[in-house]
Amino acid sequence: MSALPDINDDLYIPQMGRIVETYPMTQREKYFRLELDRPLGHRPGQFVMVSIPGVGEAAISISCGPRDDSVLEMVVRHAGNVTGAMHRLEAGNYLGIRGPFGSGFHLEEFEGRDVLFVAGGLGLVPLRSLITPIMRHHERYGRIRLISGARTPAETLFRDELKAWNALPNVEVIELVDRTDQLPWDGEVGLVTAPIARLDLDPARTLVALCGPPVMYKFVLMELGMHHRIPREQIFVDLERRMKCGVGKCGHCQINSLYCCKDGPVFRYSTVAALPEALA
Amino acid sequence: MTAFHDAAPAVFDWLRGLARDAEVWFPQPAGSANFNFERVDAHSQLSFEGYRPSIVPPVKRLLPAREVMFEFHKDADGRYAFQQKPDAGLRVLAGVRPCDLKGIAEMDVAFADGHADPLYLRRRANAAIVAYACPHPCDERCFCGSTGAIDFRGGADVFLTPDGLTPDGDALLIEAMTPRGEQMLANAGLKVCDDAKTIRERALARRPQPFGRQLKATPEALPAILAAAYDSPVWDKYAERCYSCTTCNLVCPTCYCFEVQDEFDLDGQSGCRTRTWDACMSPAFAEVTGGHNFRAETAARHRHRVKRKFEYLTDKYGMGSFCTGCGRCGRQCTVDIDIFDMVNDIVEQAGGNAR
């Protein structure tokens, strides 16, 4: 071959991160706070590959905003071998970490704009990496709206933070559950699509960030299209695929011609609107 | 660069000589009608005759079916130490046909793109390639003359061209293509040739025209045709008889998708992470957590494979189609699904001949 490119021989080698805090957030989701050897240096919306040697590796969203210290926050649903094994770990145990990987959001682009977040279920976890830094400096942004939905009150995540954000000026948080299951609930009942029609959005000023289960995107985008004429370039979707390498090689996460791990997982809707495999 | 002109036996002597210091791989008969790239030793009987594309393409010597990515060991405090054992062996892939040469060049680009893959690229850097220009199509499945791969010369260190003066082409033009090729040939004792161009042109002139099967559209026209054929019934037509056995992926010279798996040693403290070939034709390939499968239908997987070879990667890398036209997938398919037929059906449905 002509010329060897710059090669990182450690591309597939994880760094060790120590679990300093972990607790169940719901029956299926567990919170992890890790201390790494050095700052992760990530952008909102990026992900890491988490390893338990002997069990395997899985792509996990980063749930904290950019930070100067060496902390990494994640919320992990027990869904497979690796995440199942993660649920059996406790503080003091170690996890292997590679990354950060993926496109992510660019915070600068959000400054001065109105922002609408739509989070379905576990979608709040990756979006939190963008929500947190925006809420911290909410004065730098216009109107901030966050719609967060869960199936039942028992499955809601980060409720304390949602309430604290709702108390900020120019911020409105709408919490919903699909059904209350006879549990106490002070939010709304319905799907995350329900409040979209009534929102007073300025299409020119608003950036939208969506994350949720595959089935959610189509319906949220339909509602947005029907009631608000927000250009597709201003809507970001944060997509999920199975990833084995995280670096655009293993092929599992391909969305037609794009790699979710490298070209995404955060895409402008204008980029993926014409890709039939993007939004289920 | 130096060129030589000598009899095939002298070239085989040279290759057997190279095998003293490096792994030399050359296509040799496997079973009654097949070939595979096998190790050459001092006694190997080498020949260019009767060749059909090896079942597994030579590039897979650089991308093994299973390879250890790293080994790990758990310390007393629960941290893990990782250790890599780079594969630094020198390899010579010899008798590589132009279709496979193009396949290797395309793998080089795909693995170097973005985060460069150290495992493939380190192995590739230590591999020399001795290519061989086909004087005629290997069999009725080839369509390298239609994808443009037949004329591909990039990435070879040495290029062999059968002279064409005798029907079995037993004299060869031997051209050094790189400094490494020059070095490999330095002490070969082959007869120097100062008119490589004439011999090359003579061989070219004797090549049958058209060379093998011809697609009904050029590689340049296919991306647009395929982009417009997303909902074509052609995908279903072939999916009906497909078993999703994934052979087409496994024998393809430009398929590089992989699966990653960890293995534990019996001590429970150490083990290794391996990667193995995977296949987009496998039903669960695009399944995500929660069970949603983005390519649950066989037809969707066929479409993905064909578009990847003729549209997605063509657009992305600008190297022409990622299908080289080697014909392996059709040749090995249990139910005779040939990517050549699928593409031609799509072209016909799009309004016929676009050559």
CATH number, domain of A164, equals: 3.40.50.80
Question: Would you say residue A8 lies in a domain?
Answer: no
- Name the domain boundary from B180, B206, B232: B206
Q: Output the pLDDT for position A1.
A: 58
Instruction: Clarify whether residues A167 and A39 are in a common domain.
Output: no
* Crossing angle of helices A159-166 and A124-136, rounded to 10°: 40
Find the mean pLDDT for residues A96-115.
Answer: 97
Q: Where are the alpha helices (DSSP H) in chain B?
A: 8-18, 98-112, 118-125, 144-147, 179-185, 196-206, 222-227, 234-239, 247-250, 298-307, 313-317, 328-332, 339-349
- A 254-273 residues with CB < 8 A to B: 254-257, 262
- Name the domain boundary from B177, B206, B235: B206
Instruction: Clarify whether residues A166 and A85 are in a common domain.
Output: no
Q: Output the pLDDT for position A279.
A: 86
Q: What whole-number distance in Å separates Cα of residue B144 and Cα of residue A109?
A: 48
pLDDT at B73 over 70: yes
Instruction: Clarify whether residues A27 and A145 are in a common domain.
Output: no
Find the mean pLDDT for residues B128-135.
Answer: 96
Question: Would you say residue A170 lies in a domain?
Answer: yes
- Name the domain boundary from A56, A86, A101: A101
Answer yes or no: are the C-beta atoms of A51 and A96 closer than 8 Å.
yes
- Name the domain boundary from A79, A101, A123: A101
Q: Is B284 on the interface with A (CB under 8 A)?
A: no
Q: Residue A2 — pLDDT band, cuts 50, 70, 90? A: low
Residue A222 has what DSSP assignment?
A: H
Q: Output the pLDDT for position A113.
A: 97
Find the mean pLDDT for residues A122-136.
Answer: 98
Number of structural domains in chain A: 2
Instruction: Clarify whether residues A36 and A140 are in a common domain.
Output: no
Instruction: Clarify whether residues B233 and B201 are in a common domain.
Output: no
Q: Is B78 on the interface with A (CB under 8 A)?
A: yes
- Give SS3 for B178: coil
Question: Would you say residue A56 lies in a domain?
Answer: yes
How near does any CA of chain A get to the CA of B62, in Å? 13
| Model confidence pLDDT, tens digit, residues A146-197 | 999 999 999 999 999 999 999 999 999 999 999 999 999 999 999 999 999 9
Q: Is B88 on the interface with A (CB under 8 A)?
A: no
pLDDT at A5 over 90: no
Q: Residue B33 — pLDDT band, cuts 50, 70, 90? A: confident
Maximum Cα–Cα distance for chain B, whole Å? 72
Q: Output the pLDDT for position B346.
A: 96
Which residues on adjacent β-strands are paired with residue A31?
Answer: A23, A75
Instruction: Clarify whether residues A169 and A261 are in a common domain.
Output: yes
Question: Would you say residue A160 lies in a domain?
Answer: yes
Find the mean pLDDT for residues B278-306.
Answer: 93
Number of structural domains in chain B: 2
Compute the CA torsion angle A222, A228, A232, A237 (nearest 10 deg): -60
How near does any CA of chain B get to the CA of A265, in Å? 14
Instruction: Clarify whether residues A126 and A44 are in a common domain.
Output: no
* Crossing angle of helices B118-125 and B98-112, rounded to 10°: 130
Q: Output the pLDDT for position B276.
A: 97
- B119: which chain A residues are within 8 Å (Cβ-Cβ)? 12
pLDDT at A242 over 80: yes
Strands A266-268 and B66-74: unpaired
Range of the domain at A208: 107-272
pLDDT at B167 over 60: no
Answer yes or no: are the C-beta atoms of B188 and B134 closer than 8 Å.
no
Q: What whole-number distance in Å separates Cα of residue B119 and Cα of residue A249?
A: 12
Find the mean pLDDT for residues A9-26.
Answer: 96
Instruction: Clarify whether residues A90 and A150 are in a common domain.
Output: no
| Model confidence pLDDT, tens digit, residues B241-254 | 999 999 999 999 99
Q: Is B113 on the interface with A (CB under 8 A)?
A: yes
Instruction: Clarify whether residues B71 and B195 are in a common domain.
Output: yes
Q: Output the pLDDT for position B233.
A: 95
Range of the domain at B268: 222-349
Instruction: Clarify whether residues A233 and A127 are in a common domain.
Output: yes
Instruction: Clarify whether residues A141 and A32 are in a common domain.
Output: no
- Give SS3 for B289: coil
Instruction: Clarify whether residues B180 and B50 are in a common domain.
Output: yes
- Name the domain boundary from A63, A84, A101: A101
Instruction: Clarify whether residues A141 and A84 are in a common domain.
Output: no
Question: Would you say residue A280 lies in a domain?
Answer: no
Question: Would you say residue A278 lies in a domain?
Answer: no
What is the separation, in whole angstroms, between the first and last Cα of chain B? 36
